[in-house]
Amino acid sequence: MKKQPYPFRQLLGRFIIILIIVTLIISCQASAATEIEESAGATLMEPRESPEAAPPELPATFQTSLLNPLDTPHTYVEETCRYLRNKWHPSNAEPGTVVMIIQVENINRGMTDQPGSIRVKEFTRFMEQLKAQGFEAITMKQFQAFMERNIKIPPRSALIIQDDNHDEEYLSKNYRKYWEDWGWTFVNGWVSDPEVPQTLVQENLELEREGFIDHQAQGVFPDTKLTNETAKNVIARELQGSLDGFAGHFAKNPVAIIWPNGGFGIRPVEAARQLRFKLGFTENPRGPVMYNWVPLADVIDPNRPDYAPEGIINDPLMTLPRYSSGQVFDSIDIVRAIGKEAAAYAQSNKEIEHRYYEIVCSETYGPMPTP
């Protein structure tokens, strides 16, 4: 029997096919390993996206034990970012800047005391003490800018308001030396009584032009007291009548209403806002004021029932407190201490407030200005 030849070509072909398959498998495995390594390398090299930074919790409104327990600070700036920017802007008033608002009803140079009056000796005493303790008098324009935007004023400021109409002799005898010696100006609550003598108007107009006295509105009739129960026409008479009187006598619009006889309420405040009054002053001696910080009461104090609560009106700038002239001397140290406490509290929370501003506010309001 003849032996079959060995199938060399067939074996060679199978060998080549197997070699190709093995080569492809090795190539695929190497490629996959490379991709895994590259992917792992990319994962290690690329930074992870960090979650958005959470803003810190802002500190509570500054509190002090130096006020009556029922007289609590109320704020009025609704936009937190605007408040923080105004508070920490290096060109603005420093935190802890405090204003003592003073009501002077009558300075008595005679022997007989009148209701609400202060003797000239006592008036001189507290004026000299204010100066000695570093206080400076400010104008109503300065005060408005400070309360609304924290514009820079002296760290210890006094806004001195003489109530009711007075002639040139009274105002010059009692106030002029402080104007000439210290550069202090004073506010006069002017009653726009239609029966006011023209000579009195002219005297006060000259003082206004001199810059010595700044007149602001105090109603129309001296015996009026506005409340929530006051008739609408009476409220209009006292407020619109003041604007009309100022236009005729002083050729200006008053920005402040010194509430006649200390009376106020929700309806009078709303009417004053509609007529574009910016500030309102009561006769309640709650304490000093600071930017976005006004001490008011939300309930009647049984120990001081004559002081109507203002907090329920929810408009601190229209219900600002005033110290009576008889309370000033004994309150100066308290006002100074409150300012110091507020400054220290602000500094202790500065970093937190700056961090909050950076995270929440800077994109819209811009970065916090630096000195």
Q: Which pLDDT value is given to residue 65?
A: 98
- Give the Cα separation of 50 and 48 in Å (integer): 6
Which pLDDT band holds residue 17 (cuts at 50, 70, 90)? low
Half-sphere exposure of 298 (CA within 13 A, CB side): 5
CB 310 within 8 A of CB 285: no
- Give the Cα separation of 122 and 113 in Å (integer): 12
Does 334 reside within a domain?
yes
pLDDT > 60? residue 22: no
Q: Which two tokens stand for residue 38?
A: 């590259």
Which pLDDT band holds residue 27 (cuts at 50, 70, 90)? low
Does 369 reside within a domain?
no
Please, which residues have CB within 8 angstroms of residue 338's CB and are 6 or more apart in sequence? 64, 66, 67, 98, 287, 288
Structure confidence by residue, pLDDT tens digits, 272-305: 999 999 999 999 999 999 999 999 999 999 999 9
Does 300 reside within a domain?
yes
DSSP result, 296-317? EESS--TT-TTS---GGG--GG
Does 62 reside within a domain?
no
DSSP result, 130-197? HHHTT-EE--HHHHHHHHHH-----SEEEEEEE-S---HHHHHHHHHHHHHHH---EEEEE---TT--
Q: What is the mean pLDDT of residues 78-100?
A: 98
Rg (alpha carbons) of the chain, rounded to whole number:
37
Does 80 reside within a domain?
yes
* Secondary structure (3-state) at 219: coil
Q: Which two tokens stand for residue 145?
A: 């800018």
> Among candidates 327, 295, 323, 322, which has minimal Cα distance to 309?
295
Does 20 reside within a domain?
no
Q: Which pLDDT value is given to residue 6?
A: 45
Q: Which pLDDT value is given to residue 19?
A: 55
Q: Which pLDDT value is given to residue 14?
A: 59
Structure confidence by residue, pLDDT tens digits, 149-170: 999 999 999 999 999 999 999 9
Pairing of strands 186-190, 213-217: parallel
- Give the Cα separation of 32 and 304 in Å (integer): 86
- Give the Cα separation of 315 and 300 in Å (integer): 17
CB 162 within 8 A of CB 231: no
Does 50 reside within a domain?
no
pLDDT > 80? residue 328: yes
In this structure, what CATH number is given to the domain that contains residue 244? Answer: 3.20.20.370
Average model confidence (pLDDT) across the chain? 90
> Among candidates 125, 62, 120, which has minimal Cα distance to 95?
62
Q: What is the mean pLDDT of residues 246-252?
A: 96
Lowest mean pLDDT among 26-35, 134-143, 185-194, 362-371: 26-35
User: Does the CA dihedral 112-190-71-309 come out positive or negative?
Assistant: positive
Count of positions (residues) in the chain: 371
Predicted TM-score of the model (pTM):
0.85
Does 14 reside within a domain?
no
- Give the Cα separation of 100 and 322 in Å (integer): 8
Domain hosting residue 191, numbered range: 74-355
Domain count for the chain, please give it: 1
